[in-house]
Amino acid sequence: MPRLLSRLTEIFSSIPALCRGDHALIDHWMRQSPVFILCRTLPLIILGCGSYGLSMGLWRGWEMASYAGIKFPLVVIATLAVNALINGMFAMVLGSGITMRQSIQFLFTAFAIFALILGALSPITIGMALQGPLEEGPDARTFHSITLLTHVFMISYAGIVSHSMLLGALKKYAHTKIAGIQTFFAWLVGNLFVGAQIGWIARPFFGSPGNDIQFLRDDKFSSSFYESVFNSFQNILF
């Protein structure tokens, strides 16, 4: 028990330095084993993304909130797991000088910052959800759209800030600045591409008014995010 407490204290005391993207802390973390990084970043990802996920589903009640609170950290971890191999290979092929192990450590660190930002914003979004109109009310659709846009904005903001900190550290680690930037963009595009699809499979998060509350949809494996975007464009244009 005292060991767990001291570890938790250590994790929480590293939060300010992590948010600043402190080079000394990142240098120290990069020299450690992957288990060390996972022990420090996974609790932050689970807590930060979990509390934010909770706020996403809260408007539709506690059942949806708990589902979204469980799913959101899982989406982040699944994205990192699916992309781990190709991210490591990209780092090597693009000549960044970053090893496979370091690439995983870098990305977990970046997603820990992402989770911290979202976790810090979650009291606001929880308050917003609790103040929302009734699901059957006339303003439900408008509120749902506002909530959706707010979450998209906040998640994008957290993603940009966390990844820009990663870029600073990558430039420092890479053999050349260009190799660092190329690796950063390869990781960013890959994470966005896969993250969007995993998020699509894991829906619903918000629970549209009128739809049933479910952990996962029945048709979760019947289409992809990109097909639906393409079909939507097609419906608008033709």
In this complex, which beta carbon is closest to other proteins, that of residue 97 or of residue 132? 97
Site for other proteins in 90-129 (CB under 8 A): 90, 92-93, 95
Candidate ranges 5-13, 45-53, 154-162, 190-198; the one touching other proteins (CB under 8 A) = 190-198
126-137: burial string, b at 16+ Cβ within 10 Å, e else: bebbeebeeeee
- Residue of the chain from 3, 131, 234, 237 that contacts other proteins (CB under 8 A): 234
Burial class from Cβ neighbours inside 10 Å (0-12, 13-18, 19+) for residue 30 reads middle
- Residue of the chain from 53, 174, 194, 204 that contacts other proteins (CB under 8 A): 194
Separation of alpha carbons 119 and 53, rounded Å: 9
Q: Is 81 in the site for other proteins (CB under 8 A)?
A: yes
The SS3 of residue 202 is: coil
Q: Is 231 in the site for other proteins (CB under 8 A)?
A: yes
Least separation in angstroms between residue 82's CB and other proteins is 5
Least separation in angstroms between residue 119's CB and other proteins is 27
Number of residues that bind other proteins (CB under 8 A): 29
In this complex, which beta carbon is closest to other proteins, that of residue 35 or of residue 221? 221
The answer to whether 179 and 90 have CB atoms below 8 angstroms apart is no
Is the Cα dihedral 57, 69, 11, 195 positive or negative? negative
**Residues near 143 by Cβ (< 8 Å), separated by ≥ 6?**
59, 132, 133
Site for other proteins in 21-80 (CB under 8 A): none
At 129, the amino acid letter reads A
- Residue of the chain from 33, 211, 223, 232 that contacts other proteins (CB under 8 A): 223
- Residue of the chain from 21, 48, 50, 88 that contacts other proteins (CB under 8 A): 88
In this complex, which beta carbon is closest to other proteins, that of residue 152 or of residue 229? 229
Q: Is 214 in the site for other proteins (CB under 8 A)?
A: no
Closest listed residue to residue 61, CA positions, set 212, 168, 232, 165: 212
Least separation in angstroms between residue 194's CB and other proteins is 6
Least separation in angstroms between residue 139's CB and other proteins is 30
**Residues near 112 by Cβ (< 8 Å), separated by ≥ 6?**
18, 40, 41, 44, 45, 48
**Residues near 14 by Cβ (< 8 Å), separated by ≥ 6?**
25, 40
Which residues lie near other proteins (CB under 8 A)?
81-83, 85-86, 88-90, 92-93, 95, 190, 193-194, 197-198, 200-201, 220-224, 226-227, 230-231, 234-235
